A = this chain, B = another copy of it.
Amino acid sequence: MDFLRPETVVDLRNIRNVLIRMEDTIVFNLIERAQYPQQPSIYKKGAFNIPDFDGSFLDWLLREEEIVHAKIRRYQSPDEIPFFPNGLPDPILPEIEYPPVLFPHPNKVTVNDTIREFYTKDIVPRICISGEQEENLGSSSLCDVECLRSLSRRIHFGRFVAEAKFLTEREHMTALIKAKDIEGLDAAITNKAVEKQVLARLKLKAETYGIDPMTPNAPGKATKVDAEVVVEMYENWVIPLTKKVEVEYLLNRLEE
């Protein structure tokens, strides 16, 4: 992808366009998950008897999917970070030599554990009706895997955002990094106007994609996903975690 090349990462507009496109994917994935009930047992360690695995059913499925995706080279791409990085198999596709865009290369900043935590504990209970539906445990977990993946990719994209900002304000940023001035870095990467725009756009997307356009005003018609929850998820989790990733990335930026 273009944003993975050194010559385009400098341009923050390119990165913003990718981030905007990812919002669609995230909203689509949440709409798909919201079809099913909460299914608390898939998040509970020990709820099912899974051979040779010590974790929840969702963790097991996430791991199984990551094993397949490692084979198709997903985690060689600098914008993808697995939830279970240990012991993944080699790709069956020939290796790609990605030009270094992030520094140090490869970059290892990860907040995947926090993402899984807020998604399963704060988001699922608010977008899904309560209860368990035995026939859809698998389908619900697959939707979770997609939601987690798209959130992880979006939030860790903060590393590219940070690199772009670093390159445009190299001197100022270098001073802040050397001083380990976390507050200063946080202020330097924050753009309140853009954040407000993101939230407004997300609300509109969740509402637009979540309503049958043939009957947008049908009485009592519930939207497929609660737009408020989507907005609050960005406000309380996605944006702050992205900034956390950005700051952490920058703090390690000079170690070449």
Chain A residues close to B by CB (< 8 Å): 1, 4, 20-21, 24-25, 28, 31-32, 35, 48-51, 57, 60-61, 64-65, 68-69, 71-74, 77, 92-94, 96, 98, 133-139, 141-142, 200-201, 204-205, 207-209, 212-214, 224
Contact = CB atoms under 8 A, between A and B. Distances in A.
Contact of A64 (B32, B61, B68, B137): B68
Given A49-B92, A65-B68, 4 more contacts: A20-B212, A28-B209, A50-B92, A64-B71
Interface of A (DSSP majority class): helix
A135 B5 CA distance: 11
A213 B204 contact: yes
29 contacts: A1-B136, A20-B212, A24-B31, A28-B28, A28-B209, A48-B93, A49-B92, A50-B92, A51-B92, A57-B93, A60-B92, A64-B68, A64-B71, A65-B68, A68-B68, A72-B137, A72-B138, A72-B142, A73-B138, A74-B139, A77-B135, A93-B138, A96-B135, A200-B214, A201-B212, A201-B214, A204-B213, A205-B213, A208-B208
A232 to B, nearest CB: 19
A210 to B, nearest CB: 9
Contacts of A61: 68, 72
Given A92-B50, A204-B214, A141 B72 contact: yes
A138 to B, nearest CB: 4
Contacts of A51: 92
Contacts of A201: 212-214
Contacts of A209: 28, 208-209
A69 B60 CA distance: 12
A72 B77 CA distance: 28
Contacts of A25: 32
Contacts of A20: 212
